Amino acid sequence: MSQKKTFGDESEMPMASISSDDMSWNRTGSWRNIKPFFDPRTSPCIAGCPAGEDIQSYIQLAREGRYEDAVRAIWKTNPFPSICGRVCYHPCMEACTRATHDQAVFIPAIERFLGDFAIDHQVQSPVSTTVNGKRVAVIGGGPAGLSCAYYLALTGFPVTVFEAKEALGGVLRYGIPSYRLPKNILDAEIARVERLGVAFRTSTAVGRDVTMEELTEYSAFFISVGLQKNRLLGMEHEDANGVMPGLEFLESINSGKPVAVGRHAVVVGGGNTAMDVARSALRLGAHVTVLYRRTRQEMPAIEDEIEDARAEGVVFRFLATPHRIELSQGHITRLTCQEMTLGELDETGRRRPIPVDSYFDIPADSLLTATGEVADTAAFEPMARIERGLIVADQFGRTSNPKVFAGGDIVSGASTVVNAIARGRGAAELISSELTGGKFHPRTEKKVVAMEDVNTAYFARTPRTPMTDNEHARQSFEEVHNGYTCDEVRSELDRCFSCGVCDGCDNCYVFCPDVAISRENGVYTIDYDFCKGCLICVRECPRAVLSTVNEAS
C-alpha cells in the first residue's frame, strides 16, 4: 500500500504536474456507512422441504453433469428420490422464487430423474464405516421406518425392520397405485436399504405375532406403523357388499387381487387417498363419482392429483355427502346424497359444511370410503403415552419412554411421505446420539432468501420444461407421467436461480465501480479498504448472496 506522496524540496518534483504513482494510498473504505458482505442463505426450496434436501446443491451438481454426486447429495437427507420425485406434494416448488419470474422450477421432475439415474446406473450407496453392537428395532416398514433404518444402518447400527404385511413399503406399496409409483421403482429403492445390511421380518405384526416386551435384544425401538384403519362413515349398511374402505380397496389392487367395482363407483372423500381410489376404480372400468362435502378449494389432495383425476374423467360432486345406502340382495345399488353448504370457519381454517335439506340419488355398484385414517395403537399402549389416538412424540421422535421413539403418521396423524421420511431420519440421528453418547445436533435454520431479494434481470424468460405423459396409462396401471429425458432435465436444471448460494456469475466482481471485489479460485473477496459501500454488488447479485450491515458509529 503506497503512501500519499509529499515533496520536501522543489528539486524532488517533476518539471510539471506529472504523476507516476498510483492511488492505492487512498483507502476509500472510510467513506462507507453501510457495508456489504457475503452472506450465503438457504434457498427457499431447501427451507420448504420437510426433509431438508439440499436442492440447490444437487441441482448445481447436476448442472455440471455430476449426476452421481447429485444423487448422493439427495441421499444425505432422503434415501428415496425416485419415490418422492413421483409422489411428493413438492412444497419446494411452491417456495421456488422462479415463480415470480416465469414459472417455478420443476424440482420433483429433476429429483425423479436423478433417482432413476441412480437405479439405472446402479450408483453405489454409501456404506457405513463403523459397526456397533446396539441393535435397533424399527416397527413398520413404510417410508418413516425405512428411512430410519437406512440412516441408522449408515451409522453402523444393526437394524431389524418388522413389517406386518407380506412386503415392505407401507402406504408406498399398498396405498399409492402403480400408475403413480411403479412397483419396480419402489423395490429398487427398498433394495438400497437392504444392501446396507438391514434385516427385514415381514408378515410379522408387533402386537399380534410378537410383543414389544419380547424384543429384549433391542436397545431402542422406532415405531412407524402409520394409520391402519379407515375412519367409518357411521352409516347403516356400511358393511354391505360393495361398500368398502378405500385403503382396503387400494391394498387389494396393490397386492395384485383387485376387487371388482362394477359400472358405477362412488368415492367419498377429498384427500390423496380418495384420488388414488377414484383413479384406480376408473382403471377397473367404472364410471367414478367423487363426493366431497366441501368445494374443490378445500380439498386436501395435491392439486396435481385432483387435476389428473379430472383429466382422466372422474366426476366431482362438491358439497355433498352420503345419506342413505340402498341395497338389493345385500349389495349396494344406489346412494342417496345430501347437499351441503359452507358455513363459518372451523378449527382447520376451512369453512364448516352444513347440511341442507336437499337430496339426490346416484347409481352405485360400489361405495369406497376415503374420509380419513386412524391409528391402531393397541400394541403400543404399555410402551409410550398415547393421546387422541396417536403416539405422543416430539419432532425428533422422543416419546415418554427413553427406549421408544416414534415418527410418521402414527405421531402426526395423516401427513405426507416426505414428512415421514424426514421424521425417520431425525429419529435415527437422535437414536444414534442417545445410544453412542454422542451429541445430537438438530438441523438449524439459516436465513432464507425471500422472493424480492432475487434480481431476476439476469434470467431470460423460459417456461418450465413440460413433462410428457404416457397416454395409454390413463386406462391401465402403467406409469402415467414420463420422466424427463437427458435434454429435458438439462434445460430444466438451467432454470434454477441457485438462490442464496453463489454460483460464480461474476456480477459483483464486474459491477463494482471501485474494483474492490476480487475473485480467486471461485471465491470472491471484498476489499474493505476500498469498498465505498455503494451496494451495487448487493443489488445486482441475482441470487441474494450479499447482505448489508450498518457501520455508522
Q: Which of these segments, 95-103, 114-122, 229-237, 513-521, binds another protein (CB under 8 A)?
A: 513-521
Task: Kindly report the number of other CB atoms within 10 A of residue 244's CB atom.
Answer: 22
Of 191 and 510, the one with the shorter C-beta distance to another protein is 510
In whole angstroms, how close is the CB of 16 to another protein at the nearest point?
4
Of 254 and 507, the one with the shorter C-beta distance to another protein is 507
Does residue 319 bind another protein (CB under 8 A)? no
Q: What is the 3-state secondary structure (H, E, C) of 263-308?
A: CEEEEECCCHHHHHHHHHHHHCCCEEEEEECCCHHHCCCCHHHHHH
Residue 90 and residue 85: Cα distance in Å, rounded? 8
Q: Is the CB of residue 176 less than 8 Å from the CB of residue 480?
A: no
Residue 4 and residue 221: Cα distance in Å, rounded? 73
Does residue 23 bind another protein (CB under 8 A)? yes
Q: Is the CB of residue 264 less than 8 Å from the CB of residue 362?
A: yes
Contacts of 231 (CB under 8 A, 6+ apart): 369, 371, 372, 373, 374
Of 392 and 536, the one with the shorter C-beta distance to another protein is 536
Does residue 502 bind another protein (CB under 8 A)? no
**Out of 123, 187, 511, 547, the residue judged to bind another protein by CB under 8 A:** 511
Residue 323 and residue 293: Cα distance in Å, rounded? 12
Q: Which of these segments, 12-20, 95-103, 341-349, 362-370, binds another protein (CB under 8 A)?
A: 12-20
In whole angstroms, how close is the CB of 460 to another protein at the nearest point?
9
Of 150 and 530, the one with the shorter C-beta distance to another protein is 530
Does residue 27 bind another protein (CB under 8 A)? yes
In whole angstroms, how close is the CB of 461 to another protein at the nearest point?
8
Let me know the angle formed at the C-alpha of 170 by 148 and 287, rounded to the nearest 5 degrees.
Answer: 145
Residue 70 and residue 52: Cα distance in Å, rounded? 15
Of 259 and 536, the one with the shorter C-beta distance to another protein is 536
Does residue 549 bind another protein (CB under 8 A)? no
Does residue 527 bind another protein (CB under 8 A)? yes
Q: Which of these segments, 3-11, 101-109, 161-169, 170-178, binds another protein (CB under 8 A)?
A: 3-11
Of 22 and 347, the one with the shorter C-beta distance to another protein is 22
Residue 426 and residue 420: Cα distance in Å, rounded? 10
Task: Kindly report the number of other CB atoms within 10 A of residue 389's CB atom.
Answer: 13
C-alpha grid cell for residue 340?
A: 351441503
Eight-state DSSP code of residue 354: E
List C-alpha distances in Å: 4 to 22, 56, 209: 9, 47, 88
Enclosing H/E stretch for 175: none
Does residue 551 bind another protein (CB under 8 A)? no
**Out of 359, 360, 440, 458, the residue judged to bind another protein by CB under 8 A:** 458
**Out of 291, 538, 544, 545, the residue judged to bind another protein by CB under 8 A:** 538
Does residue 311 bind another protein (CB under 8 A)? no
Does residue 30 bind another protein (CB under 8 A)? no
Let me know the angle formed at the C-alpha of 444 by 443 and 448, rounded to the nearest 5 degrees.
Answer: 120
Of 58 and 162, the one with the shorter C-beta distance to another protein is 58
Does residue 24 bind another protein (CB under 8 A)? yes
Q: Indicate the residue type of 516.
A: A
Interface positions with another protein (CB under 8 A): 4-7, 10, 13-28, 31, 457-458, 503-507, 510-511, 513-516, 527, 529-530, 532-536, 538-540
